[in-house]
Structure 1
């Protein structure tokens, strides 16, 4: 396919750049490389992508607009990074390899998510848009698959539970403000009630008018 095509396969669980940021004293995000800590993992992953991209595509440099087809294979269906964030990690490494000049060259992209417990990896194909075009279609399944439902992350789950408790409290407060008219028995609120007999009786405005 000449120099307008490249394919890169990198084994291992793909990782997200956002998970490995540290912040300096000025609050600026940094990505450590040789701190000797866990956060070095991203920089090493980026280097691995660059190494594999260059060794698998010797002499290839794509300088024009690119169509990218990315297939990401995770170990788990539910516990994995956000695939949208994964693309940044991958293209940082591809750019560093020299296979492309800048990730701004990516004009069209398809991302597909798969699962492989034994061999997690990503497979990336790059096509020069002067020789290749992209087509895709979405079709309704003849036999629907069993859906995989996702739960909110733990921090968001707590937020949802807190909001539900707050909503319940407000509802209870509103309910406690409701009383019954001493004459007709209809439900009314304290704000809309008319006080009688020195506050010992609350009646609705309709019943109050009938008294005169």
Structure 2
């Protein structure tokens, strides 16, 4: 039955395909399914999405261009996959379910990231473009919240430090450090060292944290 709306809710921590790909001897990417190893986990997750999407939307097929609203709920604010990589994992399973014809139908996508340690999941709503349009706005908060600060993974720190040093040379301030948050040079006694002295935050950014 051709329908004009579908909603899918999949419980459990969302995972991304990029963490589970292997390569064969020819260098071609493969996705294990029944090796009995940890890497089977993604293929099983994709099958779970396909099965539950079909059960939640029986006899439903969306065959036109779509607007997708995706809400992802993680257990932790920092320890989770890249949300930008999650969409491929999800839509591969949705396409396999037969709910949509091809994931190329998704022409507009809004992703929101939330946290629910007791009930991690994702919620996906699909609307046909012929009947719906989407509007959004960015509004400044009346009272700023405490920012969620991210630090680069270990394999990228050296590259970032090198870029920071180049910026300092270009600015003509080789004796200053760069603020970890705003990126501006920090003169002596105008910042706070963090991460055991490996990086710094300027006084203005430090005050905003509290």
TM-score under structure 1 normalisation?
0.75
RMSD: 2.0
Which residue of structure 2 aligns with residue 87 of structure 1? 87
CA–CA distance in structure 1, aligned partners of residues 18 and 160 of structure 2: 24
How far apart are residue 133 of structure 1 and its match? 1.0
Match of residue 138 from structure 1? 138
1:129, distance to aligned residue in structure 2 (A): 1.1
SS in 1 for 2:141: coil
Larger Rg: 1
Which runs of structure 2 are paired with 1:1-212 in the superposition (5 Å)? Answer: 3-160=3-160, 163=162
Report the secondary structure of 1:3's partner residue.
Answer: coil
TM-score by length of structure 2 reads 0.75
Stretches of structure 2 that go unaligned for 5 or more consecutive residues are 175-210
How far did residue 87 of structure 1 move?
A: 0.2
Residue by residue over 1:113-146, the C-alpha shift from the partner in whole angstroms, topping out at 9 and shown as x without a partner, is: 0001110000000001111111111111111111
Structure 1 alignment gaps of length 5 or more: 176-212
CA distance in 2, matches of 1:33, 1:136: 39
Aligned-partner Cα distance in 2 for 1:51–1:112: 24
What is the alpha-carbon distance in structure 2 between the residues aligned to residue 25 and residue 122 of structure 1? 35
Mapped to 1, the partners of 2:158 and 2:80 lie a distance apart of: 20
